[in-house]
Each structure stands twice: as C-alpha cells, then as structure tokens.
Amino acid sequence: MQTRNPFIDDLTKMANGAMGALTGVKDEVEARVRDQIAKILDGMDIPRRDEFEAVKAMAAKAREENEELKKQIAELQAKLAGPQS
C-alpha cells in the first residue's frame, strides 16, 4: 500500500520487517522451549498412558480378588469356629 508520503511508506516497510523478524524469533524460542521440555520429561521416570492404564486395571483386579479372599477367609473361620462352640 503506497501513500503519498514516502516517510510513512518507509515506516510501514520497517514495521512489516520487524514483525517478520519477531515471528521468526518467536518460532525459534518455541522450538527451543519444546526441546528443553522434552529433555526434562525424558529424564523423569513418568509412565506412558498405556502403562498407567494397565497397572490401574491390575490394581482394580487385585482389589476385587482381595475382597473375595477376605470373604472366603471369613467363611472358613466361621466353619472352624462353628463345631467348637
């Protein structure tokens, strides 16, 4: 967009150039931040989602089995205590 004032035209060109440079800097900073976060997360012992879900399912099954075993123990104890009393 050309105006009759060359000073305004030059300022517009400078502003556009500055915005282009800032966009490039922003993209570079974002890439470096992503790299740093990836390095930090790689160093941590965080399970993946599928690993977490597998362990969660195993824990739920173990809790169910534990409850069933508690019932069986209570029944056996009642049978053992029954004839003695």
How large is the greatest C-alpha to C-alpha distance in the chain, in angstroms? 112
Our CA dihedral for 34, 36, 37, 43, rounded to 10 degrees, sits at: 140
Residues 5 and 23 in one domain: yes
Whether the CB-CB separation of 9 and 2 falls below 8 Å is answered with yes
Q: What is the pLDDT of residue 20?
A: 86
Q: What is the pLDDT of residue 1?
A: 59
Task: Kindly state whether residues 59 and 82 are assigned to the same domain.
Answer: yes
For residues 22 and 59, state if they share a domain: no
Q: Mind listing the pLDDT tens digit for each residue in 31-55?
A: 999 999 999 988 888 888 999 999 9
Q: What is the percentage of the chain residues whose pLDDT exceeds 90?
A: 52
Q: Are residues 61 and 28 in the same domain?
A: no
Mean pLDDT (the chain) is: 89
Q: What is the pLDDT of residue 53?
A: 96
19 and 5 in one domain? yes
Task: Give me the domain span that covers residue 74.
Answer: 47-85
How many domains does one find in the chain?
A: 2
Write down the pTM of the prediction: 0.43
